[in-house]
Amino acid sequence: MQFGAFIGLDWADEEHALSLCAANDTQIQRTTLKQTPEAIAQWANELRTRFPNQFIAIALEQSRGPLLAALTNFEHIVPHPVNPKSLARFRQALYPSNSKDDITDADLLLEILLKHRDHLRPWQPDTVHTRQLALLTEQRRNLVDTRTALTNQLLAHLKMIFPQALDFVGDLAPLGRRFPEEMAHAAVAPESNSCGVAEVLLRPQLSGQWSFDAAIGIAQNRPCLDLRSGPA
């Protein structure tokens, strides 16, 4: 694929920095582009007029998002996503002081595109199933992170007001996974209209990981630390 121009695009929320170099030229033209559909469309059409019947290669730190989606609407623009870690290491190698500047990042993206394009892969749209799988995977990752955060909050709270509870149940993660499932089943089961938390906790599916008799023994032989009744 032959390109008429190469562009390094350092994206931002409101305005992007651009560094453009035409094929068979060494001069770099630096401009900015506003993040609006009208501005992007006008800019893309100007590139089509300036470089007729030629493709435009663009390097940017995005593999998805509104900017990439807007660029893919123009058949003459070929985005080349760059891994942010690769750009950071490239910047660190050339600028050890690590002073970040938008125009410099656009220049770096352009240099990567000009000199290391064989290591980049032109962006290809995902299939419907791939996009659905990516969204489901991201949702699952967010749910796992939320569960971990809630478990850590519960642990911290129990350590403050009722540390013996940790001896009762041990690892809270398995209990935290099974308890909502069992409670949800109890809520819809017609024979469990009056089923409460205690009854659910004593079910074999949950009580197998902790001993109710051992919990009673610990509670009887140890003083309960309750910080709620401490001095203000």
- Fold held by 3-123: Nucleotidyltransferase; domain 5 (3.30.420)
Q: Is the pLDDT of residue 58 over 90?
A: yes
End-to-end C-alpha distance for the chain, whole angstroms = 73
Average pLDDT over residues 201-211: 51
Number of CB atoms found within 10 A of residue 20's CB: 21
Domain ranges, ordered by start, for the chain: 3-123, 129-226
Exposure of 177 by Cβ count < 10 A (0-12 exposed, 13-18 middle, 19+ buried)? exposed
Whole-prediction pTM: 0.55
Q: CA angle, corner 84, sides to 102 and 88, nearest 5?
A: 65
Any residues with CB less than 8 A from the CB of 177 and at least 6 apart, and which?
Answer: 147
Q: Per-residue confidence at 223, pLDDT binned at 50, 70, 90?
A: low
Q: Is the pLDDT of residue 199 over 70?
A: no
